[in-house]
A and B are shown apart, each in its own frame.
Chain A
Amino acid sequence: MMLLDPVILLSIFAGVSAGLFVGAMPGLTATMALAVLLPFTFTLPPLHGLVALGAVYMGAIYGGSFAAILVNTPGTPSSIATAFEGYPMAKQGRAIEALNIATIASAIGGIAGSLFLLLLSPPLAKLSLRFGPAEYFWVAILGLTLIASLSEGSSIKGMLGGALGMIIGTIGVAPIGGETRFTFGMPVLQGGVAMIVALIGLFVLPELYTMAATGKTALKAIEVDSKARSSFWQVTKTVFSMPGNLIRSCIIGEIVAIIPGAGGNVANLVAYNEAKRASKHPEKFGTGLPEGLVATESSNNVTVAGSMVPLLTLGIPGAPPDAVILGVMMLHGLRPGIELFTTSGHLTYAFILSMGLAAIAMVPVGLLGSRLIYKVIFKTPVYFLVPTIAMATILGTYAVRNSHTDVIIMLILGTLGFLFKQLGIAPAPIVLGLILGSIAEMGYVQTILGGQASQYPVLKLFENGLSHILIGMILFSALWPYFSALKRRLKLKGGSS
């Protein structure tokens, strides 16, 4: 009943709208949106503050899909894979359909995440506790097996991109040891390359250079046929016509979300890869398939509530925005743990349910917002669009660490990314390497350090049961393309004979 308070409902709608705006701007992250809103929540009652922050978080992760679909630029790292299908759809004149699919899938993901949090917090928290450094290392390696899927064309070029991403990720101060690496005597590089800076440069600039070269945007006007397909009911039907994909993506999102540090950045890529692998026509992925879009958008919004599992039960923020929410909880005297679900149960459960409501609120807000943003982008002449996106990109990059050097790094990486793209090295594997490289390094070095007492410290990586499961998954993931190719060949042989 507390949630029916008009102020709370208003907070949800305002929070989702603000989050959507921030998420749609490349470079502005959910963490930043929450940090900006934080001072305003100090004077609010605990529930109102938490509800507003939860709604902003939900809206920001969803808002990332707008830029990914309309300008091939993931607004947040959680929507990297959204661009793989959403942008080709927009190029085919199906932008509204793609935006509506993202809206419905995100809402379903958000609701599923809240349900997971509501019903499965204790067992999921126990599972998250079993993840040690060795498991983190294997999770990162598992993520790297996605490179084959994310490479456009040659997977060897994808691997080169992945390795380059991992090296870029090691520039600066080492996470363990604290020494600087690859700074080439330049102190400005000691801070390293922020993932979001590389993400913006590698995805946005090649698109801007292409627009400048061709003198036109890749977006096409909405086709008459597409108008029918993009209607709310038709899109809802499309999304619900793939229940297996939805359920699988939500489960992937939840599992990834409970691993602190992974979050939506990894979940959307894993879900996309699994959707492709399970599809009857994987070769069509990358050409504008709703299946891929549903997988990424449902999985990344599951992580919003999903990452609250370790936060609310163990006090471990699953993702950076959760740390802000933890701060607000502590400020109001709410300590994570069993008490949160007993003594302060009324607040906690209302907060969890409010995230479900925020997911529902995304539908009207998103449907209106998507049309507006589409019209603005479509009707703006390319000679205005290029400098405007460039300005938003520069501002977003600068705002990450208030660093002018970051903007220069973004321009250099973006220009290199454009040249690499010409050679067939896609930006996605580079960003994937950058995201997962640091997780792999932390896990690897911590495990080896922990095993110093034994003769072969490296064996520590293979000790745990969970590690064995992850290694099995890695082998399965890495060998699957060969199995399926073999299967196809045998099928063809059978057919011809």
Chain B
Amino acid sequence: MNREINTEIVSGVIGLILTAVFFFGLEDVFWMSLVFPKTIVFLMGIIACVLVIKGAVKPSRHRIFHEGSNVRWIVTAILFFSWVLIMPVFGFFVSTVVFMTIIVGYLAQARTQLTIGKFMTWTPIVIGEVTLFYLIFTKVLYVPLPTGMFF
């Protein structure tokens, strides 16, 4: 992924795909609800076309995903999604402790050698941190966090 691409053309194509998605997503509703989104969808289509034309006429290439390790951000993103998707099953507290510890370990391995001793230090810190936020949100701010099968 660490390569140069014509970002105008790619942005324009993505814009056109989104225009098509939203154009066909327009349901058969009364004009009052339709007039504004329809206008914007058309506007987005025009802007996307302009971008594609500009990219074709005056091509300029830019490097994308060139900062750091692509694998690391992708794995982090997968961990974030898993954390949130598992939350209703295990509850906020348990899923957060588990996934925060995994993410800490995963990101730390790029800088340091992972040992059981380090995990023994990190885990209580993570538990303390999560407990603090959990108590603030549930007891002070009265936000009912997802409980799942635990709490």
A77-113 Cβ-contact flags toward B at 8 Å (1 or 0): 0000000000000000000000000000000000000
A383 touches B111 (CB 8 A): yes
B103 touches A209 (CB 8 A): no
Q: Assess whether A170 is interfacial by the CB under 8 Å rule.
A: yes
Supposing A164-B44, A182-B37, A424-B62 touch, asked if A174 and B29 sit within 8 A by C-beta, the answer is yes
B84 touches A394 (CB 8 A): yes
A399 touches B141 (CB 8 A): yes
| Chain A residues within an 8 Å CB radius of B51 | 156-157, 160
Supposing A36-B140, A210-B73 touch, asked if A174 and B107 sit within 8 A by C-beta, the answer is no
B32 touches A445 (CB 8 A): yes
Roughly how many angstroms separate A156 CA and B77 CA in the complex, as a whole number?
A: 29
Supposing A404-B146, A437-B40 touch, asked if A212 and B72 sit within 8 A by C-beta, the answer is yes
Q: Which residue of chain A lies nearest to B70 when distances are taken between CB atoms in the complex?
A: A213
Measured CB to CB, the closest approach of chain B to A129, in angstroms, equals 25
| Chain B residues within an 8 Å CB radius of A170 | 36-37, 40
B76 touches A208 (CB 8 A): yes
Q: Assess whether B48 is interfacial by the CB under 8 Å rule.
A: yes
Q: Assess whether A45 is interfacial by the CB under 8 Å rule.
A: no
Q: Assess whether A127 is interfacial by the CB under 8 Å rule.
A: no
A386 touches B69 (CB 8 A): no
B11 touches A179 (CB 8 A): no
Supposing A395-B133, A422-B64 touch, asked if A160 and B47 sit within 8 A by C-beta, the answer is yes
B111 touches A384 (CB 8 A): no
A174 touches B68 (CB 8 A): no
A153-181, CB < 8 A from B: 154, 156-157, 159-160, 163-164, 166-167, 170, 174, 176-181
Measured CB to CB, the closest approach of chain B to A347, in angstroms, equals 29
Q: Which among A241-249, A269-277, A407-415 touches the partner chain?
A: A407-415
Q: Assess whether A441 is interfacial by the CB under 8 Å rule.
A: yes
B145 touches A167 (CB 8 A): no
Q: Assess whether B94 is interfacial by the CB under 8 Å rule.
A: no
Q: Assess whether B43 is interfacial by the CB under 8 Å rule.
A: yes
**Residue from the list B29, B33, B68 in contact with A210, Cβ < 8 A:** B68
Roughly how many angstroms separate A167 CA and B25 CA in the complex, as a whole number?
A: 11
Contacts between chains A and B (CB distance < 8 A), count: 185
B41-88, CB < 8 A from A: 41, 43-44, 47-48, 50-51, 54, 62, 64-65, 67-70, 72-73, 76-77, 80-81, 83-85, 87-88
| Chain A residues within an 8 Å CB radius of B29 | 174, 177, 179-181
A445 touches B80 (CB 8 A): no
| Chain B residues within an 8 Å CB radius of A445 | 32, 35-36
Measured CB to CB, the closest approach of chain B to A9, in angstroms, equals 23
**Residue from the list B8, B26, B107 in contact with A386, Cβ < 8 A:** B107
Q: Assess whether A464 is interfacial by the CB under 8 Å rule.
A: no
Roughly how many angstroms separate A232 CA and B104 CA in the complex, as a whole number?
A: 37
| Chain B residues within an 8 Å CB radius of A392 | 133
| Chain A residues within an 8 Å CB radius of B122 | 384
Measured CB to CB, the closest approach of chain A to B97, in angstroms, equals 10
Measured CB to CB, the closest approach of chain B to A262, in angstroms, equals 18
B112-132 Cβ-contact flags toward A at 8 Å (1 or 0): 000000000010011001100
Q: Assess whether B90 is interfacial by the CB under 8 Å rule.
A: no
Measured CB to CB, the closest approach of chain B to A466, in angstroms, equals 22
Most buried by B among A154, A163, A183, A440: A163
B1-33 Cβ-contact flags toward A at 8 Å (1 or 0): 000000110111011001000100111011011
Supposing A383-B107, A384-B104, A423-B64 touch, asked if A160 and B80 sit within 8 A by C-beta, the answer is no
Measured CB to CB, the closest approach of chain A to B144, in angstroms, equals 6
**Residue from the list A213, A407, A408 in contact with B68, Cβ < 8 A:** A213
| Chain B residues within an 8 Å CB radius of A415 | 77
B100 touches A209 (CB 8 A): no
A163 touches B47 (CB 8 A): yes
B27 touches A181 (CB 8 A): yes
B88 touches A387 (CB 8 A): no
Roughly how many angstroms separate A32 CA and B143 CA in the complex, as a whole number?
A: 11
**Residue from the list B10, B34, B85, B103 in contact with A390, Cβ < 8 A:** B103
Q: Which residue of chain A lies nearest to B18 when distances are taken between CB atoms in the complex?
A: A164
A390 touches B11 (CB 8 A): no
A-B pairs with beta carbons under 8 Å apart, 5 shown: A163-B43, A177-B30, A209-B77, A408-B84, A423-B7
Closest 9 A/B residue pairs (Cβ): A213-B68, A174-B33, A214-B68, A383-B107, A177-B33, A163-B44, A177-B32, A212-B76, A383-B108
